[in-house]
Amino acid sequence: MSPTPPTATTTTAGRFRRWFWRPPRPHGATIVDRRVSPLELLYDLVYVAVIGQAAHHLAEDVTGAAILDFAIVFSLIWIAWVNGSLYIELHGREDGRTRTVVFLEMGILALLAVFAENATGEGGPGFAVVYSVFLAVTTLLWYLVRRQDRDQPEMRAAAGVYVATTAVLSVVMLASAFVGPDLRFVIWAACIVGFIGLIVYEGSRPVGLQGAIFPTDSLVERFGLFTIIVLGEVVFGVVEGLSVAEPNAKTIATGMLALGLGFGFWWIYFDIVGGRLPKPDGRSMATWTLSHLPITFAIAAGGAASVSLIAHASDTTTPTATALLLGGAVALGLLGEIPTTLALADGDRLRTVYRPLRRAMALGAVVALGAGLIRPGPLLLAVILGVMLTALWFFVVSRFLAAHAWIDEPPGA
């Protein structure tokens, strides 16, 4: 009896083709126990370069206009990260197709970093074209996901809205490359508002984010990793500031205290909201996702402000723009975490903990902004902000311990 001839799916070549180009996971095919892959970690590292380039422009010229420019550029970068990361989390596989797509996006992002430092100036047209290409790739990827939703008409409709919106944003970003800088700036701001509106809209639909995104440990870890990326910008800012400033005791002390503010951001974020699952409903998912934009922007802006803070360490008063940027960044970071806590499952389970924490964070934001407004010397400004964050963290610990809900608290403590 002659052996059965091998088919296309049983041969090594056939299995390789099937592994290399499988379709994306459809909506709802969530891998609950999935772990963040090395590919995702590499993908995130590219954003270190993009954000670093954008922050460098602000660090060298801390003015109101530069702060606004950085806010626009950072928001666009964050939108790119959200799209790329959620695609891998929700629809990626451990196969050649996902790897190819991610490496393609990384190549585009590397090129985007080239134009990021002067994106609102001479680099604007280049930034707009490259960003438009990234959105076009994103649109194609989400469209291919939508094709997998044949048995989910409601989800297919919701995905259609998302695909159509990202396609429009891609075209609008491309068109912005051919207009003047002022109009381009307005167009970019409109694109940001449009994306935020899209997330809010999808979160409000009965079948939208609620059916598309399921809270998992890997999803929470992904957002935590991006927070760590922007915390790295604080370290870079301090190192850059100390590298160019006169190395005296006051400068070094100011730099170390500025670095301590970055550590304070880390403590507050990861002890209050980091590692905690959001509630599974659409509105909570939208709130949880979008609240990370002001949080991460605040941390990155604080890193840029550190460069100027260290450069003026010997001044009797901190320059107005630097003081307001640093104090405002700390305030915005704290205020941004308030809606995040409202979207957490622990926010309901531990109401006696989170209610006073929100008031404490609001008070801390007032103190931070007030410190920026009174403009003390750089060293004293860093001390005030550091003391406030330290006091807030001790309050956080006390509330969690009182509720027997502190991380790794020994049984029976």
- Distance between CA atoms of 413 and 338, rounded to whole angstroms? 28
Question: Where does residue 81 rank: exposed (0-12), middle (13-18), buried (19+ CB within 10 A)?
Answer: buried
Torsion angle of C-alpha atoms 48, 54, 60, 65, degrees rounded to 10: -150
Residue 107's closest CA among 79, 76, 130? 130
Do residues 160 and 146 touch, judged by C-beta distance below 8 A?
Answer: yes
For residue 122, the 8-state DSSP code is T
DSSP for residue 344: B
For residues 41 and 334, give the distance between their C-alpha atoms in angstroms, rounded to a whole number. Answer: 26
pTM, two decimal places: 0.90
Q: Give the angle subtended at the CA of 338 by the CAs of 332 and 340, to the nearest 5°.
A: 105
Given this model, what pLDDT does residue 203 score?
A: 83
Closest Cα partner for 107 from 65, 164, 46?
46
Query: How many beta carbons lie within 10 A of that of residue 38, not counting itself?
Result: 8
Q: C-alpha angle 135/139/142, rounded to 5°?
A: 135
Q: CA-to-CA distance for 358 and 360, rounded, in angstroms?
A: 5
Residue type, 200: V
3-state secondary structure 237-280: HHHHHHHHCCCCHHHHHHHHHHHHHHHHHHHHHHHHCCCCCECC
Instruction: Let me know: does 172 contact 212? Beta carbons within 8 Å.
Output: no
pLDDT in tens, 261-276: 999 999 999 999 988 9
User: 317: burial class by Cβ within 10 Å (0-12, 13-18, 19+)?
Assistant: middle
Which structure tokens are listed for 13?
């070549």
Instruction: Report how far apart, in Å, the C-alpha atoms of 81 and of each of 76, 86, 120, 131, 345 are.
Output: 9, 8, 20, 12, 24
For residue 285 the two structure tokens come to 């998912």
Closest CA to 138 of 188, 97, 87, 96: 87
Domain boundaries, the chain: 29-212, 217-402
Q: Which residue is listed with tokens 């809205």?
A: 161
Angstrom distance (rounded) from CA 256 to CA 252: 6
The pLDDT value given to residue 411? 46
d(CA 289, CA 220): 10
* R_g of the chain computed on alpha carbons: 23
Q: What is the pLDDT of residue 348?
A: 86
Q: Low-confidence residues of the chain, pLDDT below 70?
A: 1-10, 207-211, 407-413
CA distances from 327 to 53, 279, 292, 298, 388 (A): 22, 31, 19, 10, 11
Which pLDDT score, from 0 to 100, does residue 86 have? 87
User: What pLDDT does 389 receive?
Assistant: 95
Q: What local confidence, expressed as pLDDT, does residue 35 receive?
A: 84
